[in-house]
Structure 1
């Protein structure tokens, strides 16, 4: 990568074209992640080629936000950020540092649609940094249907206060393979949570895989065995991560990593020496 500073800063609004669909990252804020087992400790990462991924406080920099898919006047938002709040770092927390949101609506305005014009809000899973704005009162996505993975809903736990009733009132339960928006199909990627779901966005022979938290960092493309502490089933998450990495090597396919610092859109390219693969930003 020519500018390795991108690995240590959050992403701004950015867009790509997938066939006839305009697809845009909509930032809400940023979060810091602590490298924790099976990731090597920060002291070890600093001494390797992977040290470029750590900021000056030895954290991995991640985003929180959503992915906007626009098809003419219609629009879909995948995930809804952390919401208008922030949380300082808890030194005792095993993997999450400071996190803040609040910018999603302002950044959405830069891309055109108002919140009350969004047709569908779909969720990869129901963690707080993915459902924030969808659970705000008064509601902001007043027109949208909430597409929630069926298995995720059936295995829900630890939702923020009031979130369950808010989501249920607008909810459509989604099963793997179901189309949630023209050209956008649900893709089962369990392991991070029981019902964790990605979305395959396809148009005119081009494909983008929005894989949610199946991968938290580009480092996991090279090391799919590195799961993250909140994965409910590490072996299952690794199995689906390896399948996902193989799919991302197809020439017609790009990926979107919500937590991938300032390299959210990219391709997976095999190592010329046959030793794994790497994330190449686009």
Structure 2
């Protein structure tokens, strides 16, 4: 063998080793991100910019939140659990910007700090950072023209009903509150999950109901997805040849991408929610489709990647 052939062989081996090292580093980074709340992250979809705006985090007990799972399941999926054995669920909003215009999808949990209680599926809750996060990216909350809610659970309503610091009213001084018509009609059901009459009353003067297929902002349409709640809505954002599905609480952890049959303990209709999760995984496996999971730890943007025959899909983070 000549020197050039030996050099080519060494070069190929070095490239393989570098490729393996890169893959190992990417896997390690993803595992770290699965165990921490999300920070500010942005994607550009043509003329539309979407930015995850953090408000805080909730710790979920894995078997309490996903009752169809077992201890053996979590032993196999320990990468999704933090050092306390909880699923880390980010809490925040999705800012959608088109030129000078801005829409916010969901409004965090607000300034709330609740310790974990033994036996509760929801562990510690920490919120309140959303306004500071908006300031960090240079967006005045008063310039947001509408807040669109996926549903009426309290961890999505926070800053829409809670007074902004130093004021008597919410920070979104000019915003309409967009809620699906069936969700608002059945708003009494949200009270079973901590949304008080006072919260709903604070929203009511600004509420404008929307329906399936409505365009609520340039490139943003409503997609009704009942199951988690009676009128749960997703929002489909299209631009630059791609679409992003903001799917709300259809899923709470990327582990459900491979197991859409795992429903959440608070799902209103588990058959409906499971059906939507299955369809959502199919949609997000398309090359032109990205998902946004508000609760998905620090991997809020991603796509579903199909595994080999007999294997479920997995969540692949998308950062650009």
> Shorter-normalised TM-score: what interval?
over 0.9
Which piece of structure 1 moves more, 173-182 or 155-164?
155-164
SS of equivalent residue, structure 1 residue 132:
helix
Give the structure 1 partner of residue 106 of structure 2.
79
Q: Matched residues in 2 for 1:154 and 1:234: separation? A: 20
Q: Which protein has the larger Cα radius of gyration, Structure 1 or Structure 2?
A: 2
Q: Deviations over 1:30-79 (max 9, x none)?
A: 100011253424x434421x110011111100111100001110000000
| Equivalent residue for 2:78, pick from 48, 51, 57 | 51
Cα distance in 2 for residues equivalent to 1:125 and 1:222: 24
CA distance in 1, matches of 2:96, 2:179: 17
Map residues 1-282 of structure 1 onto 2, 5 A cutoff. Answer: 1-3=27-29, 4-36=31-63, 37-41=66-70, 43-48=71-76, 50-93=77-120, 95-137=121-163, 138-157=169-188, 158=191, 159-282=195-318
Measure, in 2, the Cα distance between the counterparts of 1:140 and 1:87.
22
User: Aligned equivalents of 2:118 and 2:217: distance in 1?
Assistant: 41
Task: After superposition, give the CA deviation of every residue in 1:240-275 in whole Å (9 maximum; x if it has no partner).
Answer: 111111111111110100000011000111113352
Which shows bigger deviation, 32-41 or 266-275? 32-41
Distance, in Å, in 1 between the alignment partners of 2:197 and 2:116 is 21
After superposition, what is the alpha-carbon deviation per residue over 1:66-123, rounded to whole angstroms, capped at 9, x for unaligned?
0000111000000000001111112132x11010101000001122221111011000
Provide the TM-score with structure 1 as the length reference: 0.96
CA RMSD after TM alignment: 1.2
Q: Deviations over 1:204-262 (max 9, x none)?
A: 32100000000111111100000010001101100011111111111111010000001
CA distance in 2, matches of 1:18, 1:274: 33
**Bigger share in helix:** 2
Measure, in 2, the Cα distance between the counterparts of 1:264 and 1:16: 11
152-161 vs 126-135, greater mean Cα deviation: 152-161
Structure 1 residues 183 and 177: alpha-carbon distance in aligned structure 2, compared to 1, 3 A threshold: same
CA distance in 2, matches of 1:112, 1:72: 14
Count of aligned pairs? 279
Q: How far is 1:194 from its partner?
A: 0.5
Structure 2: gaps of 5 or more residues: 1-26, 164-168
TM value normalised by structure 2: 0.85
Q: Report the secondary structure of 1:29's partner residue.
A: strand
Unaligned 5+ segments in structure 1 are: none
Deviation at 1:188, TM superposition (A): 1.2
1:237 aligned counterpart, secondary structure? helix
Match of 2:21 in 1: none
Instruction: Tell me the secondary structure at the aligned position of residue 281 of structure 2.
Output: helix
